[in-house]
Amino acid sequence: MSEAQDLELEQKKRKTRQNKLQKRLRREMGRAIEDFNMIEDGDKVMVCLSGGKDSYAMLDILMNLQKSAPISFELVAVNLDQKQPGFPEHILPAYLEGIGIPFKVLERDTYSVVKSVVPEGKTTCALCSRLRRGTLYGYAEEIGANKIALGHHRDDILETFFLNMFYGGKMKSMPPKLVSDDGKNMVIRPLAYAREKDIAAYAELKEFPIIPCNLCGSQDGLQRQVIKEMLQDWDQRFPGRIETMFRSLQNVVPSHLADTELFDFKGLQLGFAHGIAEGNGLRGVAAAPVPEMIDILSV
């Protein structure tokens, strides 16, 4: 087989792999959009593009869905240039012009603010994120975008869950859809069901012009990185564990935790199965005398 034939065969394999990943990501994004009613007819969606693999993939799949969706919605790509030293300002405009999508690059020197406020050696993520979020929220209102799409995926959601539990003493994560604290913005995460390794493989095959984050991405010892490595280790040693953990976020039983604000433990009384089953989040349990219900709850 000649060198040209080898190259042609390799290109076909790459294209097949790319199409397979695109179909998977499209299916998962479509399911997330439907499950959480993320995008509706007439929506104007501001797609936040950082220059990383996740946001590139999100925009690519959203544009793909837009062509065949039974509803009509508008997409606007927005990047925040935070004036990090060495940031290649030409890459994103050239890419976005090439794919033919309306876009805007916002210029805000949040880099200098973060570096001046955060002590040397401390992580910059929290302040950087807050400043970036405020700028993007404000611009969404300015252009009349009623949805803000962020590129967080399934692994980000799980990592945030463990970060909050290990370091913050809370059981919470990134919801696939939420309203901002001021009630003015709706945030959606269309990649909520997508695996990071699929996104990474897709980004490589598509050859997205990735722009690294030099502000926080290069910091050592980040708590998120520790959690990421823990989950990656579990994924390698125990295939399927990540999927099971993510499903648990969608199957919460408040009565089997210990939050008195979430479940009325003080008001809990003995009763018939139907009432207790409803109160404890148990589905499909037939009415039964109290002793039998206690047996069910003790399992």
Neighbouring C-alpha atoms within 13 Å toward the C-beta of 211 = 21
Q: What is the mean pLDDT of residues 61-67?
A: 97
Q: Hey, what amino acid is at 211? A: I
Computed over every residue of the chain, the mean pLDDT equals: 85
Whether 51 shows a pLDDT value over 60: the answer reads: yes
| Residue 44 in tokens | 């104007």
Residue 4's pLDDT band (boundaries 50, 70, 90)?
Answer: confident
182-213, pLDDT tens digit by residue? 888 999 999 999 999 999 999 999 999 999 76
Q: What is the mean pLDDT of residues 25-42?
A: 97
Higher pLDDT, 277 or 146: 146
Model pTM score: 0.84
Look at residue 31 in the predicted model and tell me its pLDDT: 97
Higher pLDDT, 87 or 151: 151
Helix (H) or strand (E) holding 25: helix 3-35
Higher pLDDT, 80 or 245: 245
Give the rounded distance of the alpha carbon of 269 from its chain centre. Answer: 40
Fold (CATH) for 3-248: Rossmann fold (3.40.50)
Domain locations along the chain = 3-248, 254-298
Look at residue 85 in the predicted model and tell me its pLDDT: 80
Look at residue 122 in the predicted model and tell me its pLDDT: 65
Cβ atoms of 186 and 148 closer than 8 Å: yes
Whether 129 shows a pLDDT value over 70: the answer reads: yes
Give the Å distances, CA to CA, from 285 to 232, 261, 278, 293: 37, 25, 9, 9
219-271, pLDDT tens digit by residue? 445 788 899 999 999 999 999 999 999 999 999 999 999 999 999 999 999 87
* pLDDT > 90 in the chain, percent: 66
No. of helices (H) and no. of strands (E), the chain: 11, 6
Q: What is the mean pLDDT of residues 124-148?
A: 85
Look at residue 3 in the predicted model and tell me its pLDDT: 78
DSSP string, 187-226: EE-TTTT--HHHHHHHHHHHT------SSSTT-TT-HHHH
Cβ atoms of 22 and 64 closer than 8 Å: yes
